[in-house]
Amino acid sequence: MSLEHWVWLGLATQPGNRIIDDILRVFPDPEEFFLSGDSGIEKVGTIKSADALRIRATSLELAKHAVETAENYGAKIITKESEFYPQNLLGIVSAPSVLYVLGDETCLNNEPAVAVVGTRRLSEYGNKMANIIAGGLGSAGALVVSGMALGIDSSAHKACLSSGGKTVAVQGCGICKTFPPENVELKELIAANGAVISEFAPDSEARSSYFPIRNRIVSGMSLGVCVVEAAARSGTSITANLAFDQGRKVFAVPADVNRSTSQGTFRLLRSGAIPVADAKDILMEFGEEYTSHLSFEKIQKRNVEKNPEEKNDRPEKALKHVKKAPPPGLSKNAAAIYGVLERVPKSADEISDLTELSSSAVAVGLTELELLGLIVPASGRRFVIA
C-alpha cells in the first residue's frame, strides 16, 4: 500500500471526520479507494455530498507535497498499518489514517501511557501537582501524553523530561509548525526525548477548531487521562469527556472548590473520575499487567503538609485494632501486607513503610488481596481489611 495514498485519505476526509471509518471498512487499501473514483464513493454509501466534493477535489499531488514537506522537516509518517502506530488509537472513532512524527516513533506504544492535562491558567498548586504526577509517572517508566499547551500541559511535559521519562506531545497544528510559539525549545526537547505528533497537514497553522479534534488523540492513545486543574467549560473537560466515551480511566486532582480552575475537576469527580494525589495512585489503577514492570521505588513519596495546630480528635482507643492471622495460601508479601492492615485504612506508602517492602511489591500484594476479597479500597487510595 502506498504511503502517499494513506496521506491522501487523511487530506481528503479531514481530521476527525467519521467517514474515514466507513471508507476503510469497505476499502482497507486507500489506493484502491482512490482509483475507484465515483463508484467507490457510491459503494461506501454513507459519504455526504460535501465530503464527496472534497474527496474529488483532493489530488494525489497534494499528498505528495505533504510527504515531501514532512520529510524535509525531519518528520516521519506512520500509517495505521505501521508497527509504531499507537495501538490504543486503532479502536477509537475516526482514528487518523496517518500520524506525522518528530522524534522517536518507537515510544508511541510505551505502556502504560497516561495523559496529564489541564488549564492554561494554572495556579501554583496546579503547577506543583502537575510536577508531582507527571514527574512520578516519568520516573516510574510510564509514557506521559499531553498537548504542549501553556500551563498544565507544559508543566507535565517538563516534569516528565526532568525525571528522565518519555513524553509525547500531540499538536493542534501541522508538525512543521509550533503552537504556542513560546514552546519552540520545549518542542525540541520533547522530540529529543520522546515524540511530537500531529495528524494535520504538515504546514497547517493552528486553529481553534483543531484543538478539540486533536484531544481525541490525547485521550485515545492513553490508558487514562489525569486532569490536574480545569475550569467548568474548557478544552480539558472535552478531553476528559472523550476519555469517558472511549472507555478510558479518568482521574482528577482534588483542589479548592472555590477556585474557578477547580470547577472542572470537581465536576469530573462527581461524574465518577478517580481522585488522585500522585503517580502511584494512577498506576495502581491499571493492575499488575503494567505495574509489574514499572519502577515504583523511583517515585518520590509525597510529603503531606500538616497544620502544626492540628490535633487528632479521635479517642486513642479508636485507633487500636485487632490483629488477624493471614489466611493460608497467600504469597509471602501478601501475608505481610495483610498482617499490618486493620480497621483503620492505610495507604500504599504506609504499608510499604510498615512492611519494608518495595512499592512494586506492595502493589502486587494489594492486588492479590483485593482479588481474593480480603481487603477493600477506602477513600484516598487507602485499603482496609474486608
Q: Does residue 233 form part of some domain?
A: yes
Per DSSP, the chain holds a count of helices (H) and strands (E) of 17, 12
Q: Does residue 147 form part of some domain?
A: yes
Query: How many other C-beta atoms are found inside a 10 Å radius of the C-beta of residue 35?
Result: 12
pLDDT in tens, 262-280: 788 888 888 889 999 999 9
Distances (CA, A) of 246 to 190, 215, 223, 232: 26, 12, 10, 21
174 plus 265 within the same structural domain: yes
Q: Does residue 111 form part of some domain?
A: yes
| Amino acid 266: pLDDT | 85
149 plus 246 within the same structural domain: yes
pLDDT in tens, 88-119: 999 899 999 999 999 999 999 988 999 999 99
14 plus 117 within the same structural domain: no
Q: Does residue 82 form part of some domain?
A: no
Which pairing describes strands 346-347 and 382-385: parallel, antiparallel, or unpaired?
Answer: antiparallel
262 plus 196 within the same structural domain: yes
Q: Which of 260, 283, 298 is the last residue of a domain?
A: 298
Q: Does residue 31 form part of some domain?
A: yes
Distances (CA, A) of 364 to 289, 297, 331, 335: 10, 13, 10, 12
Domain with 337, as residue range(s), is 322-385
Distance CA(127)–CA(104), nearest Å, equals: 27
pLDDT in tens, 17-32: 999 999 999 999 999 9
123 plus 254 within the same structural domain: yes
350 burial level (CB within 10 Å; 0-12, 13-18, 19+)? middle
| Amino acid 325: pLDDT | 64
| Amino acid 313: pLDDT | 43
* Tally of domains in the chain: 3
202 is written with which cell numbers?
A: 504538515
160 plus 254 within the same structural domain: yes
Q: Does residue 265 form part of some domain?
A: yes
| Amino acid 294: pLDDT | 80
Distance CA(19)–CA(51), nearest Å, equals: 8
* Cβ atoms of residues 51 and 17 within 8 Å: yes
User: What's the CATH number where 355 sits?
Assistant: 1.10.10.10
Model confidence, pTM: 0.77
Q: Which of 263, 298, 333 is the last residue of a domain?
A: 298
pLDDT of residue 318 exceeding 60? no
